[in-house]
Amino acid sequence: MAHSFPEEVLEHVFSFVHTDKDRNSVSLVCKSWYEVERWSRRRIFIGNCYAASPGILIRRFPEVRSVEIKGKPHFADYNLVPEGWGGYVYPWIVAMARAYPWLEEIRLKRMVVSDEALELVSKSFKNFKVLAMSSCEGFTTDGLAAIASNCNCEFGGNEVKMVYFALSERNLRELDLQECDVDDQSGHWFCHFPDTFTSLVSLNIACIESDVSLPALERLVARCPNLRSLRLNRAVPLERLPNLLCRAPQLVEFGTGAYSAEIRADVFVSLTTAFSGCKYLKGLSGFWNVVPAYIPAVHTLCSGLTCLNLSYANIQTPDLGKLVSLCHNLQRLWVLDFIEDSGLDALAASCKDLRELRVFPSDPFGPEPNVSLTEQGLVSVSEGCPKLESVLYFCRQMSNAALTAIANNRPNLTRFRLCILEPRAPDYLTLEPLDVGFGAIVERCKDLRRLSLSGLLTDRVFQYIGTHGKKIEMLSIAFAGDSDLGLHHVLSGCESLKKLEIRDCPFGDKALLANAPKLETMRSLWMSSCQVSYGACKLLGQKMPRLNVEVIDERGPPTSRSESSFVEKLYIYRTVAGRRMDMPNFIWKIDEDAVFGLS
Amino acid sequence: MFFYVTKMKSYIWVQTADGLIQQVEEEVAMFCPMICREVLQMGMGSSKNYAVSLPQRVNPAILGIILDYCRFHQVSGRSNKERKSFDEKFVRLDTKKLCELTSAADSLQLRPLVDLTSRALARMIEGKTPEEIRETFNLPDDLTEEEKLEPLRNITDDPRIRLLNRLYARKRRELREREQIKNVEVEEEHGDERSVDDLLSFINGGNGDSKGVKGTKTKKKSRRRKDQPRGCSSINENGNHKKDSAVGTFSTKLELDDGDIDEELDPAMEEELDREVEDFARRLNCVWPERMQKILTSSQESRRLLPIPINGTGSLKRYTAKFLLLDMPKGTVLFRNLDDQQASLRHFVSTTPWRSEDLVASKSLRV
């Protein structure tokens, strides 16, 4: 078959094979397919930056145009990963600057990005279009200034090697800083966008604290006719929104700044008019410091909205419920628990197309509940919204009955993350563990891919998960389980498991060692404040050369304590790149030869 | 009297690679750019002697199928819906035919048909495992075990690289020992993938290039959303890490050749391995009850693991009791002996769909 099929034709067939999984399968079929596939791969996803290396990437895929890399483990969001852990993007940028002059897109998540890296990005790629950084840190507004200044320029013939590309233009389309930790020197970087820059399609500066020049912003918005998504930062005052919105009536996604101002009729009117002029708006976000009087200004937009992100909005119940119930076409809602059970009832009644719900806690550390949000709200939504498939829910009480009801109502759930604020909280009605409830979830929801557990849980729940959670790819466990048996059930039963993160559970050596081969089929395992001994880590590191076993221990080298002492944190991941060179001095890589402390 | 005026169909002559010369409808055949060019520019096809020579990939059977396609689509009056419907039915062919068709259509430069068949083939590839794809397309399984993993494996097979790795490891050890003596801080390296040249220069005393990020200058802002509520225990970040160089104790070093687990271990080595694993399991088993004692008596431990109750409803007592009792089944230890452990491991390996490289890894665990 292969001999009669010329490579260009095979490549053409592969151009219709899109997902990473399928392309990976294609590359494993036979030698010739491997070769054709690697030359035609344009888009790469690297889920763990230490699983491969820039050299390996470039050697195998010479013609990449779009790269997505993730760095720190997910638990970094909960401050469990110490500073200096790693995830530096600079080596990748250096290598790609050399090897991929035609790179168009860089997407990063939880990586450390320096100003140097940003400067290099801004200068190296002739056709650069997209820079999207989610939960990244390490850069300042100086780095952003570099991106802005070089976002649009022409290359003369002497810069380009190939003769038939006479001129190429770098036109940045997307600059997305999603929840990044930026060292804010000033908003001056924004003025670095040249006047010739008109290609912007998406801009997200919501995480920037400092003021950005409003005239510069207005001019930018006015001269970019393709602008579809604009998410402002808190510093942009409400009164300036009408000016911006009139210049960009074609917006599909908009994030306001602080949603507060003196209550003035003229401001209200102009705001309402401006919003109603945005006929294509589907997504709204922002809404810091909301003054309730101004909420009705967005009412005209509600029926067209599919995405509403109110996770920073301090809007309270009557206004919130009203707002939400006007959004009949809503598919995704992120909201604070101010929505309360009553608001969720309204949601369930009005938003039949809802696919995703996230409810965040407004006061997670308060001893008493400040809002009337209970498990009932979630049960209502699960009853009323037939398409609901993704849930993230913070609450203070839960019962097995509620979980079972949710499972029965919504067997189509694919993501279920429940965070009961109090660790080890039992079923508040029966005071039993929540094993049965979560068991119902995994049993009924056959396509469940992501699950986060909380509440009082014994090994039983893990038995259910191991038996039924065959499609679970990511599992988060905290303060749960009784013994190694729990971990053993998960590792031996969950066939599709890719990421497992555990904190404060009595899981130890046996389950880990008995299921060691499983670890090579997963992307990573995180265990902190568990009961894994240093000796077990050593054994694992010695026997499994394709795993990096990293012990994170700020008390000093693990060799200074006994073999049976527990390690603080453990991060195990599979890799083809070998030991990493950039570990800080509180991370120890367990190797076959010895323990490598400093790099 | 009625005259029936029939339109005279004109034909052109084509020759397939097998030598067969035949006439085909001109209108239909001209839909193929390659044939069109041969006829118009080269003046071929007007007679048997000057038949258009079709590319090798076009045999008579496939030609027939292609002409069916052309015959339908070259009629201008058809709606998009009709065309789409025809196309959908058209590609319902077996894999072999579909491949031949794609190949042939490509040689005739018939782009729409190439796209159509390519998409159909892509659909046959999607969702399948490599093994299934091989079966579907009758392809050889000619990638080696190592190649299936990643090219890096191939590189470490090179004896020169393996020697370098060994030298590298030795060099690092020496460096560290030297550091211990001098008690000097080693600068963090942020290197990346090292090429052979890099390794060589390092071993020969070259300076590791430390281009990298010095930790962030920013103070850690409290992340808003996904933050805290994973239980109230906030991690106490005491920046107490000793900046002394690590004490490199070299535990019983198994003389595995460069950690290449694919190699066969000699029997003495196997024995030692077995002994170590057994020993370790035994140690785990007898240490376990001791650990339980520790947990039960150590209040400090329990405070670390349990949250401090704020509403003091006595819930802490309840949780503590439940946790400390560790509700464990009779015969606390998970595995009574190594055989149990091996058995469970074996069971796991045999019942889970493994990739080939997983089996290779498990070999090293003596399953």
* CATH of region A1-41: 1.20.1280.50
Q: Which of B99, B195, B213 to mutate to test the interface with A (most CBs of A within 10 A)?
A: B213
Q: Is A169's pLDDT higher than 60?
A: no
Q: Which of B58, B132, B145, B225 to mutate to test the interface with A (most CBs of A within 10 A)?
A: B225
Give A-chain residues touching B211 at CB under 8 angstroms: 90-91, 94
Beta bridge partner(s), residue A419: A394
Q: Is A289's pLDDT higher than 50?
A: yes
Residues 6+ apart with CB under 8 A from A499: A74, A473, A474, A475, A522, A523, A524, A525
Q: Which of B176, B241, B333, B352 to mutate to test the interface with A (most CBs of A within 10 A)?
A: B241
Q: For residues A325-344, give the mean pLDDT.
A: 95
Q: Which of A3, A23, A77, A79 to mutate to test the interface with B (most CBs of B within 10 A)?
A: A79
CB count within 10 Å of CB B1 equals 2
Q: For residues A331-346, give the mean pLDDT.
A: 95
Chain A within 8 Å of B170 (Cβ-Cβ)?
no
Q: For residues B133-144, give the mean pLDDT.
A: 90
pLDDT-derived band at A366 (thresholds 50, 70, 90) equals confident
Q: Is A496's pLDDT higher than 90?
A: yes
pLDDT-derived band at B292 (thresholds 50, 70, 90) equals very low
pLDDT > 90 fraction of chain A, expressed in percent and rounded: 81
Q: Is A529's pLDDT higher than 90?
A: yes
The shortest C-alpha distance from A34 to chain B (Å) reads: 9
pLDDT of residue B5: 59
Beta pairing, strands A450-452 & A415-420: parallel
pLDDT of residue A6: 87
Give B-chain residues touching A52 at CB under 8 angstroms: 150
**How far, in Å, CA of B56 to CA of B17, rounded?**
5
Answer whether A436's CB lies under 8 Å from A465's CB.
no
Q: For residues B199-220, give the mean pLDDT.
A: 36
**How far, in Å, CA of B340 to CA of B347, rounded?**
10
Chain A within 8 Å of B128 (Cβ-Cβ)?
yes
Answer whether A363's CB lies under 8 Å from A370's CB.
yes
Q: Which of A462, A543, A560, A586 to mutate to test the interface with B (most CBs of B within 10 A)?
A: A543
- A424, A482, A582: residue with CB nearest B327: A482
Give A-chain residues touching B188 at CB under 8 angstroms: 582, 584-585, 598-599
Q: Is B233's pLDDT higher than 70?
A: no
Query: Is residue A44 helix, strand or coil?
Result: strand
Sign of the torsion angle spanned by Cα atoms A332, A294, A204, A220: positive
The shortest C-alpha distance from A146 to chain B (Å) reads: 17
Across the interface, do A138 and B137 touch by the CB < 8 Å criterion? no
The shortest C-alpha distance from A114 to chain B (Å) reads: 6
Q: For residues A218-243, give the mean pLDDT.
A: 94
Query: Terminus-to-terminus CA distance in chain B, angstroms?
Result: 94
Beta pairing, strands A105-109 & A168-171: unpaired
Tokens 């020579």 correspond to: B53
- A33, A92, A592: residue with CB nearest B256: A592
Give B-chain residues touching A559 at CB under 8 angstroms: 246-249
Give A-chain residues touching B333 at CB under 8 angstroms: 510
Answer whether A248's CB lies under 8 Å from A220's CB.
no
Tokens representing A39 are: 């030359």
Across the interface, do B179 and A12 touch by the CB < 8 Å criterion? no
Q: For residues A392-402, give the mean pLDDT.
A: 96
Please provide the average confidence, as pLDDT, over all residues in chain A: 91
pLDDT of residue B172: 56
DSSP structure string for A289-323: S--GGGGGGGGGGGGG-SEEEETT----HHHHHHH
The shortest C-alpha distance from A196 to chain B (Å) reads: 33
Across the interface, do A596 and B229 touch by the CB < 8 Å criterion? no
Task: Count contacts between A and B (CB, < 8 Å).
Answer: 330
pLDDT-derived band at A557 (thresholds 50, 70, 90) equals confident
pLDDT of residue A429: 96
Answer whether B139's CB lies under 8 Å from A561's CB.
no
Query: Angle CA(A361)–CA(A366)–CA(A369) in degrees, nearest 5?
Result: 70
pLDDT digits (tens, 9 = 90+) for B262-278: 334 456 554 554 555 45
Quick one: which H or E segment has residue A169? strand A168-171
Across the interface, do B231 and A479 touch by the CB < 8 Å criterion? yes
Residues 6+ apart with CB under 8 A from B52: B12, B13, B14, B15, B35, B38, B39, B44, B45
pLDDT-derived band at A582 (thresholds 50, 70, 90) equals confident
pLDDT of residue B268: 59
- Which amino acid type is present at position B211? K
- A14, A25, A421: residue with CB nearest B229: A421
pLDDT digits (tens, 9 = 90+) for B148-200: 765 433 333 344 444 554 555 565 566 666 666 665 444 433 334 445 454 44
- A12, A17, A515: residue with CB nearest B114: A12
**How far, in Å, CA of A463 to CA of B69, rounded?**
57
pLDDT-derived band at A216 (thresholds 50, 70, 90) equals very high
Quick one: which H or E segment has residue A138? strand A137-140
* A155-164, A409-418, B207-216: least confident range: B207-216
pLDDT of residue A167: 43
Bigger pLDDT: B279 vs B30: B30
The pTM of this model reads: 0.74
Give B-chain residues touching A80 at CB under 8 angstroms: 235
Chain A residue nearest residue B243, CA to CA:
A585
- A5, A91, A520: residue with CB nearest B103: A5
Q: For residues A495-506, give the mean pLDDT.
A: 96
Q: For residues B244-258, give the mean pLDDT.
A: 32
pLDDT digits (tens, 9 = 90+) for B331-348: 333 334 445 545 544 444
pLDDT of residue B43: 87
pLDDT-derived band at A111 (thresholds 50, 70, 90) equals very high
**What residue spans define the domains of chain A?**
1-41, 42-215, 228-294, 508-599
Q: Is B210's pLDDT higher than 50?
A: no
Across the interface, do A79 and B220 touch by the CB < 8 Å criterion? yes
Q: Is B260's pLDDT higher than 70?
A: no
CATH topology of domain A42-215: 3.80.10
pLDDT of residue B262: 32
Q: For residues A147-160, give the mean pLDDT.
A: 65
Answer whether A522's CB lies under 8 Å from A500's CB.
yes
Beta bridge partner(s), residue A119: none
Chain A residue nearest residue B127, CA to CA:
A22
Tokens 């000093």 correspond to: A556
Residues 6+ apart with CB under 8 A from A50: A86, A548, A573, A575, A577, A580
Note whether A1-41 and A42-215 share their fold. no
pLDDT of residue B166: 55
pLDDT of residue A545: 87
Q: Is B280's pLDDT higher than 50?
A: no
The shortest C-alpha distance from B55 to chain A (Å) reads: 12
Query: Is residue A84 helix, strand or coil?
Result: coil
CB count within 10 Å of CB B5 equals 6
Q: Is B306's pLDDT higher than 90?
A: no
Q: Is A468's pLDDT higher than 90?
A: yes
- A77, A84, A513: residue with CB nearest B226: A77
- Which amino acid type is present at position B361? A
Q: For residues A406-426, give the mean pLDDT.
A: 96
Across the interface, do B229 and A364 touch by the CB < 8 Å criterion? yes
Across the interface, do A517 and B362 touch by the CB < 8 Å criterion? yes
pLDDT of residue B307: 37
Chain A within 8 Å of B275 (Cβ-Cβ)?
no
Closest residue by Cα to residue B352 from A491, A449, A513, A445: A491
Give B-chain residues touching A114 at CB under 8 angstroms: 213
pLDDT digits (tens, 9 = 90+) for B1-60: 666 656 677 899 999 988 899 989 988 988 999 988 988 988 888 888 888 889 988 989
If phi over 0 gives left and psi between -120 and 50 gives alpha, with beta otherwise, what is residue A334? beta
Answer whether B50's CB lies under 8 Å from B14's CB.
no
Across the interface, do A531 and B291 touch by the CB < 8 Å criterion? yes
Tokens representing B56 are: 């090798």
Tokens representing A250 are: 């074609």
Q: Is A476's pLDDT higher than 70?
A: yes
Across the interface, do B220 and A77 touch by the CB < 8 Å criterion? no
Across the interface, do A80 and B235 touch by the CB < 8 Å criterion? yes
pLDDT of residue A170: 64
The shortest C-alpha distance from B7 to chain A (Å) reads: 38
Residue A560 to residues A557, B95, B251, B294, Cα–Cα distance (Å): 6, 63, 13, 20
Q: Is A223's pLDDT higher than 60?
A: yes
Across the interface, do B348 and A515 touch by the CB < 8 Å criterion? yes
pLDDT of residue B173: 64
pLDDT-derived band at B310 (thresholds 50, 70, 90) equals very low
Give A-chain residues touching B126 at CB under 8 angstroms: 17, 19, 22
Across the interface, do A91 and B191 touch by the CB < 8 Å criterion? yes
Q: Is A159's pLDDT higher than 80?
A: no
Q: Is A282's pLDDT higher than 60?
A: yes
pLDDT digits (tens, 9 = 90+) for B61-90: 999 999 999 999 988 888 999 999 999 999
Across the interface, do B250 and A597 touch by the CB < 8 Å criterion? no
pLDDT-derived band at A241 (thresholds 50, 70, 90) equals very high
